[in-house]
Chain A
Amino acid sequence: MTSSSFFEYLHEQGLLSEVSLEKIRQKQSDKTISLFWDLRLVLYAGVLLLTGGLGVLIYKNIDDIGHLAIIGAMAATSLFCYGFALKRMNPFSWNEVRSPGVVFDYVLLLGSILMVTLVGYVQYQYKIFGTEWKLATFIPMLILFFTSYYFDHQGLLSMAIVNLAAWLGITINEKVFTHTNQLNDKETLVTAALLGAALILLSWLSRISRKKAHFSQLYHQFGTHMYFISSFIALFVFSPNYYPWVLVYLAGSVYHYFKSVKEKSYYYMVITMIYTYGCISFIVVDLVDESSGVHYDLKGKLVFAYFTFSSIAMIFLLIRQNKIFRKHAGVQ
């Protein structure tokens, strides 16, 4: 049965209205393809190339170009971008405001990147904040938070959160995942876990206060992963006295489990299970490893047996939870 005949069949069965069938017919006859996300990707690449190239150019020719010329050019471009955004933006509202267009989004992003760079450059060159280096992160962060809310731009909010973390001394980029030694300082780990919890709280506040409620997902994403990753690394760093961190970790697991159940979120269900499995596995391997009087060979067998049977148990749990969610959603 072809797609169109199946929808015709559904219509004959009384499961599909004439209006819906007509919409489907129109969609099937419309051969237009959308390159919306492709264009956004091209714009993103353009902004990255332009700002990256400018940065290296300035770095290499800093003595030839002159500091004031650099500052002037960056400030002028950034102001132009903000001016463009102000002119084109839809009126501010605490509810979601639709972007006027894809160019608006990326011109604003370009302006913001240049603004953040400018502040950093001026501090590096002229020490405008004296030895208060953290102000050079704090001020752009404030501007980014303000602009993300004012222009309703989730990309800027993401940058603002990354700057917030940086202000607190945590670097968030791909290195967090590839070089976890960036997070091996005990104080940094505590800060990261607290920031994760704070972001989750911010997500909740955004939702209940209905002030840009659609930002709540982004806060939660950053919060969840920061909380779990820092707690997981803390298990290693604080070893052998890691038990308080187990409580912290499992508190997060319990919260996320109930969140997934409440919202019927498959995403939070899966990441909660994977992160919790990581924590439990750490404890089991540590207990086996530390157990005295057990032969090395037997320890190996116990660990492999644990991973085999625990992962099978996780499979059953995931399938069971998936079925429960589908049942609640009324889907067979």
Chain B
Amino acid sequence: MLAYNKDKLDAWMNRTMVEEAAALGLISETETASILVRYPSPFFSPKPIVRIGLGIATLIAVSTFFSFILLIAGFNMGEYGIQFLYGTAVFVVLEFMIRKKSHFRSGIDDLLLYQGFWFIIAGMYWLFERAPDPFLVITAITTVAAVAATIRYADRLMAGLALIAFIVFLGYLLKKIDIDLYIYLPQFTLVISIACWFAASKLVKKPNLRHYHHCFEFLMILSLVLAALSSNYYVFYEGWYSTFYGNKLSPFWRYFFAATTALVPLITIISGFLQKDKKRIRVGTFMVVGAVMTFHYYFTSTPTEILCIVYGALLLLISYWLLKHHKPKENGISFSERQDSAALYEIESMLIGAGVGMITPEQSGGRFGGGSFGGAGSGGNF
């Protein structure tokens, strides 16, 4: 089922492990070089920056060639199922690049997959445009096609798309069955996200599914994000319920979402710390921020700038306390840096320059100008 040769994938994974060990300074440069020479890469799988370059070029080539064909043939969009045919042709090229040219995460195969998929789904839309429920059909097709593409190409974005397309499909289905059921889509999303997280966390441990490991990892992160969004009171009420149903939320659901807003982030972050799971700690941190902001929105009238000062100071104090009193040996969490973080320092420095910017008075109007946020009042038109 998998388009890529499994033995080659195993060899590639072994090479990746060696490169990671070398980046951490566990293996000497001489050893790394001799291992990499002995076990050459079975794929054309370049460095991320080359992958980005090749991806951009593929994006331009595939999309402009489609426009070129439309102009040459004098077709209009959708006529004769042109998108579907073009998408199929793109998949033929993708299979050729994988089988004959051994491309794997080269940027070319990634973009051929995404664009081929997009053209086929767009072609399907034109085909089913006149169906009684075109969106229901299209979202169902997208879900099935994305699952199939995930199985065939082991692509994490396709796995994520499958989950999102399924939730959207469910929304259309609920709407079709009974408009009152549609109201429960966030609750359904929460249940699906939690189920997906548990399923992915089980599947990620299966050795025979090792080539899909990154897809399950991605699904776990996406499930957490979806769970956070669908369980948040603000997102549910302001973004969903009040838009469709006005101000009629029952007390049960008020308390339910107030509880999930607080509990889902806490469970996520605490379980992350207990099980040493970085994904849960990271997503959980953002969830906690979202929960705090939600409660402040409804329960306090404290000005934003005061909250910024309080939370800014709190974050600095917590960080300082953690560094001062934390003992890595006791709980398995450390704040020591990895050896391969030089590039990250450079990115961080540039982010500081871009984020903090410069804070200087402008001659005209005498207001502080420059940076976008931070830097003591450079936000807005200060």
A residues with a Cβ closer than 8 A to B are: 1-3, 6-7, 10, 13, 15-17, 20, 23-24, 27, 31-40, 42-60, 74, 101-103, 106, 109-110, 113-114, 116-117, 119-121, 123-124, 131, 133, 136-137, 140, 154-159, 161-163, 166, 171-175, 217-218, 221-222, 266-267, 269-270, 273-274, 297, 300-301, 304-305, 307-308, 311-312, 314-315, 318-319, 322, 330-332
With contact pairs A173-B371, A330-B37 given, residues A114 and B376 touching in the complex (Cβ less than 8 Å)? yes
Which residue of the partner chain A has the closest CB to B377? A55
For A121, list chain B residues within 8 Å (CB).
361, 368
State in angstroms the CA–CA spacing of A120 and B336 once bound together. 37
Is the pair B40, A332 in contact by a Cβ cutoff of 8 Å?
Answer: yes
Is the pair A32, B333 in contact by a Cβ cutoff of 8 Å?
Answer: yes
Is the pair B377, A123 in contact by a Cβ cutoff of 8 Å?
Answer: no
For A222, list chain B residues within 8 Å (CB).
350, 353
State in angstroms the CA–CA spacing of A110 and B361 once bound together. 19
Interface 1/0 per residue, B121-137 and A, CB below 8 Å? 00000000000000000
Interface centre among A1, A158, A217, A221 (most CB of B within 10 A): A158
Tell me which of A3, A31, A36, A305 contacts B341 (CB under 8 A): A36
The secondary structure that dominates the B interface is: helix
Is the pair B358, A270 in contact by a Cβ cutoff of 8 Å?
Answer: no
Can you offer 5 A-B residue contacts whose CB atoms are under 8 A? A46-B312, A51-B375, A119-B360, A158-B349, A331-B41
Is the pair B335, A102 in contact by a Cβ cutoff of 8 Å?
Answer: yes
B residues with a Cβ closer than 8 A to A are: 10, 14, 17-18, 21, 24, 26-28, 31, 33-38, 40-41, 44, 46-47, 49-50, 52-54, 56-58, 60-61, 64-65, 67-68, 71-72, 108, 207, 276, 278, 281-282, 285, 303-316, 318-320, 322-323, 328, 332-338, 341, 344-346, 348-363, 366-379, 382
For A319, list chain B residues within 8 Å (CB).
44, 54
With contact pairs A39-B319, A163-B358, A311-B60 given, residues A52 and B374 touching in the complex (Cβ less than 8 Å)? yes
For A40, list chain B residues within 8 Å (CB).
348
Is the pair A140, B360 in contact by a Cβ cutoff of 8 Å?
Answer: yes
Is the pair A304, B68 in contact by a Cβ cutoff of 8 Å?
Answer: yes
State in angstroms the CA–CA spacing of A331 and B39 once bound together. 10
Is the pair A27, B281 in contact by a Cβ cutoff of 8 Å?
Answer: no
State in angstroms the CA–CA spacing of A2 and B17 once bound together. 10
Which residue of the partner chain A has the closest CB to B311? A49
What is the minimal beta-carbon distance from B22 to any residue of chain A, in angstroms? 10
Is the pair A46, B316 in contact by a Cβ cutoff of 8 Å?
Answer: yes
Is the pair A48, B312 in contact by a Cβ cutoff of 8 Å?
Answer: yes
With contact pairs A17-B31, A45-B315 given, residues A35 and B281 touching in the complex (Cβ less than 8 Å)? yes
With contact pairs A101-B323, A171-B370, A221-B346 given, residues A49 and B64 touching in the complex (Cβ less than 8 Å)? no
Closest 10 CB pairs of A and B: A55-B377, A53-B308, A50-B312, A49-B312, A158-B353, A46-B315, A332-B40, A55-B376, A117-B376, A53-B309
